[in-house]
Amino acid sequence: MDYEVVIGLETHIQLNTQTKIFCACKADSWNDAPNTNICPVCTGMPGVLPVLNRTVVEKGVLLAVAMNADTPPVSYFDRKNYFYPDLPKGFQISQFDCSLAKGGWLDLPMPATDKDPAYVRRVRIHKLHIEEDAGKTKNESVGGYSRRLIDFNRCGVPLVEMVTEPDLRSADEAAQYLTRLRQLLRWIGVSEADMEKAHLRCDANVSIRPVGADYLNTKTEIKNVNSIEAVRAAITKEVERQKAEYAAGRKIESWTLEWDEDSQSLKKMRSKETEADYRYFREPDLLPVYLSDAWKAEILAGFPELPLARRARFISAYGLPEYDADILTGERSLSDYFEQAIAAYGGDPKRASNWLLNDVMRLLNESGLTAGELKLTPAYLAKIIKLVDDGIINTNTGKSLLEKVNRSGQSPDEIVETEGLAKVSDDSALRAVAESIVAENPKEVESYKSGKVGLMGWFVGQLMRQMGGKADAPKARAIFEELLQ
């Protein structure tokens, strides 16, 4: 039997606000000691009242619009009730039936493989809402006893929960979804989206069904996947397991599974509550959120071109290969940099792209900076490429000039001038050096003449070395060819 894989992803996205969703405590506690960013509101003391953080709504709306969702003019908060030690209030403030956003989708460009051509997978969004995070518990054993510690720092940290329809069809597509989501979140500036720091968390729901079937089989839910690679590996393992179960004539039960990174395997967890157990009802301590047209317009002022649209435009408008367009739009600052550089350059965009992909990317990787932070500005990069195009400096000089500009922040023209980097293409200067090399190396001249023409590279190399790498290489070659006749 041929099976089709069916996957839906539930993600929790930590918004990068300064403060928590309903109080003034600091939101990001990554580097802080347990229970240092807490107050009576986020620890659920009796009598306190939540006050909604405006920026949380604004970032939620930005994300909703970026996901092509509608944003109803009114939305509500609801209580999701459950009992757990990391939830001091005994309920989580979330949104249930009238949330900030409705619908939406993300189109994933899936690259061609050996087997399949490239295609686009549209993943529809089932729900998108804002809510508060819960705390964190940790078990410790002390002197033969075990005790549970609770850190409330994360209580009240603003989250967007976003759930897809079961539209994904492979582990690769699930990985691509998370990659594109992470790119989008950073691009619009609503989250750091670091999976290792739990800014972006994901549960994967997985089932398989016979190819061509239109019903959904029982699914399992995979938790504790903390990287995109872990999501890919865990789904792959689970699909294999489900195929084996069906092949053995057994049924799939709707388990919750936990990914164990060390052993790269899945373990069965508790069976989970159903939705009805949460006893959702309207949050009586918060007003509805009224999103007026004016406020929405204010939120969306300066809304950027999104990464996949920009990627498509880089391909169609500049004729870039998909590979280049993908890297150049991987990060917003880099893609802005590229556009500024080609505007200043005015030449072939692919040529500018090559410089960026090979040389500027190396500077970025070495320094850990974003493109916008480099001392090598887009205008300076454009200038260096032009100096090479115009034959003022050779390519190697151009590459070292790039590093010099980035170190000093000086303009390329100035450095070429003060360090005398301009390429020597003056015929008589090149000829004088070439003649002395020929005179001083009779052995090499002899073997060249007897047919070892590969030695030409050696002659040109000698000349380059003597002239500090600044010689016009094609010209030098022509002169040697003439002298060695």
8 near ligand ADP, judged by CB under 6 A: yes
The site partner of 6 among ligand ADP, Zn ion, none (C-beta below 5 to 8 Å per kind) is ligand ADP
Smallest distance from the beta carbon of 178 to ligand ADP, in angstroms? 13
In the complex, minimum distance from the CB of residue 166 to ligand ADP, in angstroms, rounded to a whole number = 4
Q: Which residues bind Zn ion (CB under 5 A)?
A: 23, 25, 39, 41-42
Q: Contacts with ligand ADP in 126-145 (CB under 6 A)?
A: 126
Partner in contact with 39, chosen from Zn ion, ligand ADP, none, beta carbon below 5 to 8 Å by kind? Zn ion
- Is residue 267 within 8 Å of residue 257, measured between CB atoms? yes
The CB-of-197 to Zn ion minimum distance in angstroms stands at 20
Q: In angstroms, rounded to a whole number, what is the distance separating the alpha carbons of residues 342 and 345?
A: 5
Residue 140 touches which of Zn ion, ligand ADP, none (CB < 5 to 8 A by kind)?
none
Site string for ligand ADP, 151-190 (x = CB under 6 A): ------------xxxx------------------------
| Shortest distance, position 7 Cβ to ligand ADP, whole Å | 6
Segment interacting with ligand ADP (CB under 6 A) among 85-93, 100-108, 205-213, 342-350? 205-213
- CB of 165 or CB of 419, closer to ligand ADP: 165
Contacts of 308 by beta carbon, 8 Å cutoff, 6+ apart: 107, 109, 180, 329
Q: Is 275 in the site for ligand ADP (CB under 6 A)?
A: yes
Establish if 269 lies at the interface with ligand ADP (CB under 6 A).
no
Q: Which does 219 bind (CB under 5 to 8 A by kind): ligand ADP, Zn ion, none?
A: ligand ADP
Binding residue for ligand ADP, selected from 217, 224, 333, 370, defined by CB under 6 A: 217
Q: Rank residues 45 and 149 by Cβ distance to Zn ion and give the closer one.
A: 45
Identity of the residue, 278 or 295, whose beta carbon is nearer to ligand ADP in the bound complex: 278
7 contributes a contact to ligand ADP by CB under 6 A:
yes
Binder of residue 8, out of ligand ADP, Zn ion, none (CB less than 5 to 8 A by kind): ligand ADP
Quick one: 20 or 79, whose CB is closer to Zn ion? Answer: 20
Of these partners, Zn ion, ligand ADP, none, which one is at the site of residue 176 (CB under 5 to 8 Å by kind)? none
The least CB distance from residue 31 to Zn ion, in Å, is 18
Least spacing, CB of residue 45 vs ligand ADP, in Å: 31
Look at residues 297, 306, 301, 296 and name the one whose alpha carbon lies nearest to residue 188: 306
Q: Which residue has the tokens 């940099």?
A: 337
Q: Among Zn ion, ligand ADP, none, what binds residue 103 when CB lies within 5 to 8 Å by partner kind?
A: none
Question: Binding residue for ligand ADP (CB under 6 A) from 153, 207, 353, 406?
Answer: 207
Is residue 469 close enough to count as binding ligand ADP by CB under 6 A?
no
Q: By CB under 6 A, name the binding residues for ligand ADP.
A: 6-10, 126, 163-166, 205-207, 216-217, 219, 275
